[in-house]
Amino acid sequence: MSNFTRLESALGYHFTNQKLLQEALTHKSCASTKNNERLEFLGDAVLDLLVGEYLFKKFAHFDEGRLSKMRASLVNEKSFASFARDLGVADFLVLSMSEEQNYGRQKDSLLSNAFEAIMGAMYLEAGIDKVREILGKILEKFYPNMRFENLLTDYKTALQELTQERFGVLPSYELLAQRGPDHKKEFFIQVCIHDAIYAKASGNSKKSAQQACAKLAYEELIKESTSQKHLQKDTQKNTQNQKESKKDSKQKNKHNEKESYTKDKKHKKPKSAKKSQKKAQK
């Protein structure tokens, strides 16, 4: 039985070459053995291609800009570390003693690199189709209802682009306060658009607080946009209904006038008939 059975079961693929998988799990701190840096390099390229292909097919109506942002939100250290944790990669990492003592198994960077290396190893052994299959399952598991808004990580950039497009201005961030000791500070930020406060948020750094603010403001603007679209649709629908109602009313009036004219015509006697009646009376 393989030493990596549990990992392979979670992955959905059995490596014929177990040494290749071991190499993919070996950190560079282990100087005396082959490490995973080369496989990581290969896996990074393969994942970049396959995630791009996945998004290209799944979101056929999206332009290059949106697809690039979505790929960037998936092809990164945080995402790959999450995939690695779900697979249980941390339990199989081969680390030096110093890296072990430095909590290497918990580091996003090490887990992300190992995930890329595993994908690179799989590509070498089984080809790109197998990696595409496995990666597709992982993405569907983590993002069952994948949407552009849900994948955004850089909300500051997204908000900036949205406000420029809609208002022709950039959002401004203001530090309201900072509390706590130096090693555990909390920053309170607000974001304004056209001097109107759109959101307030806090974070353990100015950057994280600004991102939290930007996310709230971005979502608020999207809601406003959606409400306006619904209002426009309702207005257009009401206008159309009024037009159709007027049209029906006109047609009904014409029909009534025609019926009235026909009835009047039936009740009126012809002049020749009136003259004949008068002669008969004489």
**What are 224-245's pLDDT values in tens digits?**
877 665 555 555 656 666 666 6
List residues forming the annotated binding site: 40, 113, 116
DSSP 188-210: EEEEEETTEEEEEEEESSHHHHH
Model pLDDT for residues 46-82, shown as the tens digit of each residue: 999 999 999 999 989 888 988 888 898 889 888 899 9
Q: Of 63, 77, 116, 129, which residue is the catalytic one?
A: 116
Given CATH 3.40.50.920, say whether it is the number of domain 156-236: no
**CATH code 1.10.1520.10 region(s) in the chain:** 5-147
192-217 pLDDT per residue, tens: 998 899 999 998 888 889 988 998 99
Side-chain half-sphere exposure of 247, counting CA atoms within 13 A: 6
Q: What is the rounded distance in angstroms from the CA atom of residue 179 to the CA atom of residue 190? A: 15
Interval 162-188: pLDDT, tens:
899 889 999 999 999 999 888 788 999
More confident residue, 151 or 158: 158
Binding-site entries for Mg(2+)? 40, 113, 116
Establish whether 116 is a catalytic residue: yes
Q: How many residues does the chain have?
A: 282
Known active-site residue 165: no
Q: What is the DSSP letter of 35?
A: -
Write down the residue that tokens 């959002």 correspond to. Answer: 171
Active-site residue, from 8, 23, 37, 44: 44
CATH code assigned to 5-147: 1.10.1520.10
Q: pTM of the predicted model, to two decimals?
A: 0.60
CA distances in angstroms from 62 to 74, 96, 158, 235, listed in the order given: 16, 45, 15, 28
- Per-residue model confidence (pLDDT) at position 239: 62
Give the model's pLDDT for residue 271: 55
Every domain of the chain with CATH number 3.30.160.20 lies at 156-236
